[in-house]
Structure 1
Amino acid sequence: MTPDPILDHTFTAPIGVDVKGEVWSCVEVPDARELFGSLRSVRVDATVDGVALPNVGLMPTGGGGLMLSLSAKVRKALGKDVGDTVTVHLTRPS
């Protein structure tokens, strides 16, 4: 069995993903298909503007991408909300 490739990916994106006409407090991962090889849910360790989110799931957007959900608690810790831009760093869960 081949081990998963190393994941060390950083991007900047706005909070807010349109899902079936509603804006969700998520960040869409650019080029998710190329990065993960599919658009199925995948677990990652994420850091958003320095706030660690260990072992979280990236979910399909329904529009051909993957997104990271940011709870109200996380958004409060970041001091950010829908429409604000964040920097996200993704790695494989330890």
Structure 2
Amino acid sequence: MKEHRDIIAAYEDLCADHALDPAQVGTAWTLSRPGVTGTVIGPRTEQHIDAALDAMRTPLPQTLLARLDELFPPVGRGGPAPDAWLS
């Protein structure tokens, strides 16, 4: 969606700054959220499974987590769900 392109570009730049794959960061960040006990990964290849396992083993730096919270604020800080993560 065109209106979200700036946020997506900032996310991709943030991942690149940390030399991390955006898909792995997304999985690791999701798993770091309070109350989240699992995530759906939908792998199509063995590499997708390996990447998801790597995401589970890779703790994200606090600076990265803080920036992700700025880009995608939790519900209540960025608007009602599901727009909280896109507005």
TM bucket normalised to smaller: under 0.3
If asked which structure has higher relative contact order (CA below 8 Å, sep 6+), I would say 1
Normalising by structure 2, we get a TM-score of 0.28
Higher helix share: 2
